[in-house]
Amino acid sequence: MACPVFLFPAIRGGVSWRAVRSSWWRNAVFYQVYVRSFADSNDDGVGDLPGITSRLDYLRSLGVDGLWLTPFYPSPQKDHGYDVADYYGVNPEYGTLDDFGSLVEEAHRRGIKVLIDIVPNHTSSRHPWFEAALAGGDDQHRARYHFARGRDGAPPNNWQSAFGGPAWTQLEGAPEWYMHLFAPEQPDLNWWNPVVPAEFRKIITYWLDRGADGFRIDVAVSLHKRRDLADRPLVPHRITGLPTTAPGFEIIDQPEVHDVYRDWRHILGTYEPERVLVGEIFDAGRQSRYIKQDELHMAFAMMDRRWDASAWKRAIDVYRRAVSRSTSLPSWTQSNHDVIRHVTRLGGSGLGRERAKASALLLLGLPGQYFIYQGEELGLEEAFVPPERREDPLYIHTNGRHPGRDGCRVPMPWRQNEPNAGFSTSPPWLPTPAAWDRNAVDAQARSSTSVLSLYRRVLEMRCGLARRLPARMDWAAAPKDCLIYHRGPLSVACNFGHRPLELDQPADNGFAVAIRPGEESPMRLVEEDE
């Protein structure tokens, strides 16, 4: 957005004042667009790039500084784009390269940056490299992936796929297996082979040249697997006694992964204005190793703790400490396309929504970036998707033991009293829940008490305060079930309890939150001029 953000974190390690000062991404608010479900321009039931372009004014009026687009590359969509068949194109369902160009141009015209998703851990099984590896069986192509012989008809080792079952699939009628830490349609690349890093250098340069402002890196720490492919040691489970994998034995996160990001950061450094790397890393310990002046700029401070003041305080401090030795700040987030929507996690319906409003304010006042997941600004809940309509490989490959992630990926409701809440005149790829009409953007825009109006107000206030907010915050003494912090002129209070709290802390220049169950408007926003 047009709001210039000039907040100065502690400057260490020889970063020039100018470099820090001119960083557009520090304290920015990003908005994650799940491309397939955001906006459908041609009414075929599937979101697309021109749809996003047509909604940029909505995103500008919301007040975001940047977008993260989930993968839009040609893909068989076995994991909805996280199975890339061609890293240099656009899935025809989503548009063309020209559509990408217009999207970037129009976003930039509105002062909005565009991050794209890069998937370096694995390709699609329909990527020409993997097809050649299977067809020819030649060593050169196979060496780009992990092929290994099985052990007496069993997989080469005991590693498991994140989607259930072994991380290996056997080739038909052959002794070899190939590795996939996710679905069988997502074979893992062999980053030890120099051809692979060389290809990704080309890919990121290609998109930087097309105007991308940076990358969200999928499963960022997994690129190099442990070289010996050794079995994970098994130990008896603490409670059940059943064999379980021993902690502290890394099959990913090898030291060489850091070389990749140092290399990418170097490439990014040759572009103006500054481009950024956001790693899909949630673990604070790992964040402290990867968020560095010469590696990643950001990673996700995922706030998925139970609704409890001390648990939230602890988590906030853990994530703040993780970046304390860098010039970066945490990137607060509560939801994405892989997790149950946080309104639902926090208790669902009215209560969950009020808590979600409070948690957003709590996090938006903190130093750092904030990542909104599309629909969060509407207070959307996890949707029920009938089992026969579910498409997530996590649901499919666990044979339904895991409900899958479709419930947070249901298309955006744009307009009330229209088919499929205004997303599309055709049935959307995932069905719109009947009651979603009332969540529609147009309805919420008309109401001053809607979640959307709250987000707009808070982002505007944040933008207005930006120049006066230091990178430092301090916790203040607070009553039980309550967190209070001060950050320069801003004071934020969040009530995690069930009873209304009267605070004697003045909330002079900032906003204060109080949850008053049973009241029509349980949230209080104290603005500067009140």
Which listed residue (30, 82, 100, 436) binds ligand TEU by CB under 6 A? 82
Of residues 249-288, those binding ligand TEU (CB under 6 A): 280
> Minimum distance between the CB of residue 515 and ligand TEU, rounded to whole angstroms?
30
Least Cα distance to 517 among 489, 490, 496, 492 occurs for 496
Smaller CB distance to Ca ion: residue 40 or 213? 40
Burial of 187 (0-12, 13-18, 19+ CB in 10 A): buried
> Minimum distance between the CB of residue 470 and ligand TEU, rounded to whole angstroms?
33
Of residues 215-234, those binding ligand TEU (CB under 6 A): 218-219
Q: Does 39 bind ligand TEU (CB under 6 A)?
A: no
Which listed residue (10, 19, 42, 310) binds Ca ion by CB under 5 A? 42
Q: What's the distance, CA 67 to chain centroid?
A: 11
Residues 153-182, one symbol each (x = binds ligand TEU by CB under 6 A, - = not), give: ---------x-------------------x
User: Where does this chain touch Ca ion (CB under 5 A) — which range of 15-23, 45-53, 160-168, 369-377?
Assistant: 45-53
Q: 29 forms bridges with which residues in the sheet?
A: 370
- CA–CA separation, 377 vs 462, rounded Å? 15
Which listed residue (48, 65, 99, 377) binds Ca ion by CB under 5 A? 48
Question: Are the CB atoms for 186 and 180 separated by under 8 Å?
Answer: yes
- CA–CA separation, 32 vs 399, rounded Å? 29
- Containing 67, the helix (H) or strand (E) segment is strand 66-69
State the virtual CA torsion across 347, 353, 355, 359 in degrees, nearest 10.
120
Smaller CB distance to ligand TEU: residue 69 or 473? 69
> Minimum distance between the CB of residue 44 and Ca ion, rounded to whole angstroms?
4
What is the size of the binding site for ligand TEU (CB under 6 A)?
Answer: 11
Name every residue whose Cβ is closer than 8 Å to that of residue 353 and which is 6 or more positions away in sequence.
343, 379, 381, 451
Which listed residue (40, 48, 65, 79) binds ligand TEU by CB under 6 A? 79
Question: Are the CB atoms for 495 and 515 separated by under 8 Å?
Answer: yes
The string of DSSP codes covering 51-66 is HHHHTHHHHHHHT-SE
- With CB under 5 to 8 Å by kind, the binding choice for 79 among ligand TEU, Ca ion, none is ligand TEU
- With CB under 5 to 8 Å by kind, the binding choice for 40 among ligand TEU, Ca ion, none is Ca ion
> Minimum distance between the CB of residue 83 and ligand TEU, rounded to whole angstroms?
7
Smaller CB distance to ligand TEU: residue 82 or 511? 82
The residues carrying an active-site annotation are 218, 280
Give the CB-side neighbour count of residue 376, counting CA atoms within 13 A.
31
- With CB under 5 to 8 Å by kind, the binding choice for 219 among ligand TEU, Ca ion, none is ligand TEU
Question: Are the CB atoms for 483 and 362 separated by under 8 Å?
Answer: yes
348: left (phi over 0), alpha (psi -120 to 50) or beta: left
Least Cα distance to 378 among 338, 437, 290, 427 occurs for 437
Q: Does 484 bind ligand TEU (CB under 6 A)?
A: no
Residue closest to Ca ion (Cβ): 48
> Minimum distance between the CB of residue 88 and ligand TEU, rounded to whole angstroms?
19
Q: Does 148 bind ligand TEU (CB under 6 A)?
A: no
- With CB under 5 to 8 Å by kind, the binding choice for 82 among Ca ion, ligand TEU, none is ligand TEU
Of residues 300-339, those binding ligand TEU (CB under 6 A): 337-338
Name every residue whose Cβ is closer than 8 Å to that of residue 502 and which is 6 or more positions away in sequence.
none
The amino acid occupying position 129 is: W
Of residues 349-408, those binding ligand TEU (CB under 6 A): 394
Chain contacts with Ca ion (rule: CB under 5 A): 40, 42, 44, 46, 48
Chain contacts with ligand TEU (rule: CB under 6 A): 79, 82, 119, 162, 182, 218-219, 280, 337-338, 394
